[in-house]
């Protein structure tokens, strides 16, 4: 019994051993390898997230450095302590008024 597809061009292409090796290699590299395409995509997403975090923290460091420069003045230290920690002088009384549904966050 002879193969009726033996003379077809697609059969010759698929029966080539180099094509099978190439397909095996491509499948291995895309799905099964430790450095597969999917692992690279996952790692690239993590790198992007970490770079975003790096930018955010660098901006926060700049803000904190500006605050530190401002707080070198004793008047600024007193203002900061009064606003953030509700500190007062001995001769003062401070009243904190909060309204229901107040949208200002502490």
Q: Is the Cα torsion angle 73, 79, 81, 83 positive or negative in sign?
A: negative
Rounded to an integer, what distance in angstroms lies between the CA atom of residue 103 and that of residue 106? 10
pLDDT tens column, 55-71: 999 999 999 999 899 88
Closest CA to 92 of 78, 73, 72, 71: 78
pLDDT at 106 over 70: no
Q: Give the pLDDT mean for 2-20.
A: 85
pLDDT tens column, 15-38: 889 999 999 998 888 888 888 888
Q: How far is CA 43 from CA 25, 28, 63, in A?
A: 22, 19, 30
Given this model, what pLDDT does residue 103 score? 67
Rounded to an integer, what distance in angstroms lies between the CA atom of residue 84 and that of residue 65? 18
Query: Using an 8 Å Cβ cutoff, are 39 and 30 in contact?
Result: no
Higher pLDDT, 52 or 106: 52
pLDDT at 9 over 90: no
Query: Using an 8 Å Cβ cutoff, are 71 and 77 in contact?
Result: yes
């Amino acid at each position: 019994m002879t193969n009726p597809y033996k003379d077809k061009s697609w059969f010759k292409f698929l029966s080539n051993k180099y094509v099978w090796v190439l397909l095996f290699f491509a499948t291995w590299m895309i799905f099964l390898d430790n450095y597969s395409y999917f692992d690279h995509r996952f790692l690239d997403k993590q790198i992007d997230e970490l770079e975003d975090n790096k930018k955010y923290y660098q901006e926060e460091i700049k803000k904190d450095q500006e605050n530190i420069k401002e707080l070198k003045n004793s008047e600024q230290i007193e203002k900061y302590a009064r606003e953030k920690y509700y500190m007062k002088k001995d001769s003062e009384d401070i009243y904190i008024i909060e309204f229901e549904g107040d949208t200002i966050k502490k």
